[in-house]
């Protein structure tokens, strides 16, 4: 019969729906005059064939697969998740700080780079003072000057 798996799924669905209600529930299996089987909480009509089923919907606290969905347990779970996220953020912040410190150590004073960038600063400063023909030329000269000043700060201090 191809209706058997579908009926089993219906029964399972009904049993799951009833799991949250009472500890003991009555379930009726009714076969209609057309041959279709239905499951319902009320007694079958007189014209239908019926069979009473007893379904135990109480979840045992000792069962290993039973989840505790109480409000207290949900609050505890949310608090734990928040704590884990905060710890992950703190760990990422520490790793970033360590990387920044390591990166800063690699850019210690370098006399050759310092001299090169100081001369570039002087060159671009002179170009800015000499004026410009177009607005884009002025912006270019000022940007180059700012760039080399930043490199002087990086390598000379």
Write out pLDDT tens, residues 134-145: 888 889 989 989
- The residue among 50, 55, 23 whose CA lies nearest residue 38 is 50
Residue 44: predicted pLDDT: 80
Query: Would the CA dihedral through 72, 78, 83, 84 be positive or negative?
Result: positive
Q: Whole-angstrom Cα distance, residue 50 to residue 43? A: 8
Q: Where are the beta strands (DSSP E) in the chain?
A: 24-31, 37-40, 49-56
Q: What is the pTM of this model?
A: 0.32
Q: What is the mean pLDDT of residues 127-133?
A: 85
Domain spans in the chain, listed from the N-terminal domain onward: 4-56, 67-106, 108-157
CA angle 29, 22, 67 (to 5 degrees): 110
Q: How confident is the model at residue 31 (pLDDT cuts 50, 70, 90)?
A: confident
């Amino acid at each position: 019969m191809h209706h058997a798996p579908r009926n089993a799924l219906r029964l399972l669905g009904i049993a799951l729906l009833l799991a949250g209600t009472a500890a003991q529930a009555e379930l009726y299996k009714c076969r209609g005059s057309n041959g279709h089987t239905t499951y319902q909480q009320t007694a079958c009509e007189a014209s239908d064939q019926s069979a009473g089923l007893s379904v135990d919907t109480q979840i045992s606290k000792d069962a290993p697969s039973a989840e505790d969905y109480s409000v207290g347990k949900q609050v505890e779970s949310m608090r734990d998740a928040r704590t884990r996220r905060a710890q992950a953020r703190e760990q990422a912040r520490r790793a970033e700080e360590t990387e920044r410190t390591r990166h800063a150590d690699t850019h210690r004073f370098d006399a050759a780079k310092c001299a090169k960038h100081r001369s570039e600063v002087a060159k671009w400063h002179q170009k800015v003072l000499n004026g410009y023909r177009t607005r884009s030329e002025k912006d270019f000269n000022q940007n180059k000057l700012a760039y080399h000043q930043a490199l002087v700060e990086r390598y000379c201090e």
